[in-house]
Amino acid sequence: MDFKEHVIELIMNITELDRETVEKSIEIPPDEKMGDFAFPCFPLAKVMRKAPPLIAQELAEKMSDDEAIDKVQAVGGYLNFFLNREKFISETINAVEKAEDKWGSSDMGNGKTVLVEYSSPNIAKPFHIGHLFSTAVGNSLARIYKHLGYDVQSLNHLGDWGTQFGKLISAYKRWGDSEVIEKDPINELLKIYVKFHEEAEKHPELEDEARDYFKKLEEGDEEVTALWKHFRDISLVEYQRVYDMLGVKFDSYNGEAFYSDKMDEVVEILRDKKLLVESDGAQVVDLSELNIPPCIVLKSDGATIYATRDIAAALYRHRTYDFYKNIYVVGIPQSLHFKQIFEVMKKADWEWAKGCEHVGFGLVKLPGKNMSTRHGDVVLLEEVLNESIEKTKEIILSNGSAVDNVDDAAKKIGIGAILYTFLKNSREKDIIFSWESMLDFEGESAPYCQYGYARGRSILRRAEGIDFKNADFSKTVSDEEYALVKQLNGFADAVKAAADKNEPFYINRYVTNLTKAFNKFYNTNPILKDDVDAETKKARLAIVDAAVSVIRIALGLLGIDTVESM
C-alpha cells in the first residue's frame, strides 16, 4: 500500500477537492509527535464557509474508521494523520524483501533514453582530482536514472582535439624520449607540455609551430596523425586504470575528434536557416534578444570552435540515440557556453534540443591557488585514491578488525570515503582540497554508512538459522523501529528527487539519515539477547535485513561499495 496515496484519496473522497490541490497541500509535519501527514483545511474555508479549526474537527470525526490510519487529530486548522504503525511496518518490510535490488526503483523511464556525458579528461594530461567531480556526479546520475528504468548511455566526451595537440606534438618532436614516455606516459607528456609553455614565453614563434602541427593533424598528415593516435591510446590505458578503481564504465569514448568531420553540415544547416551573421569577420548566431553574447560558429579564419563541435555532437546523439535527455556534467564555468549552444539549437527549430541539460558543478581548489596543467600544479587522482586506500588499511590493521580480506575492504572503504566527500553537498559548491577532510572517517562519511551496513550483516550472520520471513510486527512498533521503517519507505522519493534535480546529494543525505536511524534502532532495541522473545526477535531481524539491503542499494547509487565486516 502507498500510505501517502491512501491519505490523499481519503481527503479527496471526504472533501471533494481535486487531486492536484490535495497533493500540493499535504505536508510532512516538522515534529513526529504531530503525526505522519498533515493537511491544512484553509482551502476549504471559502467553500464550507467555516473557520479552518471547525472544518478540521468536523473532518477528523468522519475519518476515524480506517484500517491504515490509527487516528486523525484536528489541531488548529490542520488535520494530522497518524498511521497504523503495525500495518505500515509490516507492509513496508515485506515490500522491501519482495523488491530486493529493485527497492526504490520505478518504471517511469521505460522506453526513454538518457545520455549522461561526464568525466571527459583531456588526453595526454594527468587525471587529476578535479576530474573526480564530473566523474563522481556523472556516474551517480547514470546509476540513479537506470534505477528509475531509463535506458542510460554513459558518454566520455574526450578532449582529444584542438591546438593543444599541436603544442604537444611540437614538444614531443623537440624534447620527447619515446622510451621514457612509454614507462610513465602521462607524467612525461605533462613534463614536455609544461616545458613547451615555458619555452613559448621566451620564444613566441613556438606558438606558430604548434598551430602548423595542428593544421597538419586536421589535414590528416600521416606522421602527425600517428603521433596523435599514440598519445590517445596510451592515455586511455592510464585512465582506464583509474576508472576500474572507481567502478566506472562508459558506453562511448567518442571525443571531440570524432565530430571533426561532422561540423560542416552544422554550418550549412545554420546558414540555410539564415541564422549566421558576420561579426568582425566571424560567423555567429545573434542571441542579443536573450541578453546572451553571440555564439561563434566560425572564427574569422574560418576555423570551427567548441560550440560548433558540441552542436555537431548533439545532432549526432539525437540521430543515434533519439534521447529523452542529453545531460552534460561539466563545470559551472561553462554555463554560458551551454546556454549559447542550447539556444542556437532551439533557433534551428530542433524540438529535441529541449532535452539537453547542463548539470554544472563547482571547482576543486588547492589551498591558496587553482590547479593548472599548463604550469604543472595538479593533484593526481590516482595518488589520492591510493593514499586513501593505504590510510584505511592502516586503520583496519591498527584496530584489529576481523576483516577477511583487508586489501579489498581498504579499497572499498578508502575510495568510498573520497566519493562521499564529493557527493555530500550540492554539486554547485566548491571543494577545497584537503587530505584531512577527504580522509576523515568520523561523523557523516562513507565509512560511517559502510560500518552501519557491516554491523547489520554481522547481526544477520549471528542469527543464521532463524527464519524471520513472514514475521509478526505487532511487537515492533517502538519510536525507533517506526522511524527506521519510515526512512526505508522514503527511499523512492529520494531517488526521484535526485533525478528531478540532477543532485546525487539527495541520495547521500538519505543514506546517512537511514544509517543514523538504523544505529539508533540497533542501540535501543535488543535483537539477539536471550530475554527477547522469539517473535520479536524475528521481526527485528526482518527490519535489520531490510535496512542493510537499502543501505547497500543507496550507496551503490553513489558508486560506493559495501563491505561485510569492518
What pLDDT was estimated at residue 527? 94
What pLDDT was estimated at residue 127? 86
Q: Is the pLDDT of residue 320 over 80?
A: yes
What pLDDT was estimated at residue 158? 95
What pLDDT was estimated at residue 368? 61
* End-to-end Cα distance, the chain: 36
What is the per-residue pLDDT across 33-70, written as a single tens digit (0 to 9) for each? 899 999 999 888 888 888 999 999 999 988 877 889 99
Average pLDDT over residues 491-508: 97
Amino acid at residue number 523 = N
Average pLDDT over residues 386-412: 88
Residue labelled with grid coordinates 564555468: 333
Q: Could you tell me the pTM of the whole model?
A: 0.92
Q: Is the pLDDT of residue 472 over 80?
A: yes
Q: Is the pLDDT of residue 373 over 80?
A: no
DSSP bridge partners of 128? 380
What is the per-residue pLDDT across 185-206, written as a single tens digit (0 to 9) for each? 888 998 999 999 999 999 999 9
Share of the chain above pLDDT 70, in %: 97
What is the per-residue pLDDT across 99-150, written as a single tens digit (0 to 9) for each? 999 999 999 999 999 999 999 999 888 888 889 999 999 999 999 999 999 9
What is the per-residue pLDDT across 77-92, written as a single tens digit (0 to 9) for each? 999 999 999 999 999 9
Q: Is the pLDDT of residue 166 over 80?
A: yes
Q: How far is the C-alpha of 397 from the C-alpha of 411, rounded, in Å?
A: 14
What pLDDT was estimated at residue 357? 98
Residue labelled with grid coordinates 568520523: 442
In 193-317, DSSP assigns E strands to: 276-279, 282-285, 295-298
What pLDDT was estimated at residue 45? 87
DSSP bridge partners of 69? 83
What pLDDT was estimated at residue 365? 81
What pLDDT was estimated at residue 369? 54
Q: Is the pLDDT of residue 377 over 70?
A: no
What pLDDT was estimated at residue 74? 93
* Residue 534 CB contacts under 8 Å (≥ 6 apart), including other chains: none
Average pLDDT over residues 479-507: 97
Q: State the angle between helix axes of 505-524 and 446-462 in degrees (0 to 180), rounded to the nearest 10.
A: 40
Question: 3-state class of 312 per DSSP?
Answer: helix
Give the residue numbers annotated as catalytic, written as ranges: 125, 128, 131
Q: Is the pLDDT of residue 400 over 90?
A: no
498 band by pLDDT with thresholds 50, 70 and 90: very high
Q: What is the three-state SS of 336-391?
A: HHHHHHHHHHHHCCCHHHHHEEEECCCCEEECCECCECCCCECCEHHHHHHHHHHH
At 107, list the grid cell.
518504471
481 band by pLDDT with thresholds 50, 70 and 90: very high
The answer to whether residues 373 and 193 touch, using CB atoms and an 8 Å cutoff, is: yes
Mean pLDDT, the chain, as a whole number? 92
Considering Cα of 500, then 505, then 509, then 514, what sign does the dihedral take?
Answer: positive
Cα-atom radius of gyration of the chain, to the nearest Å? Answer: 29
Q: Is the pLDDT of residue 372 over 60?
A: no
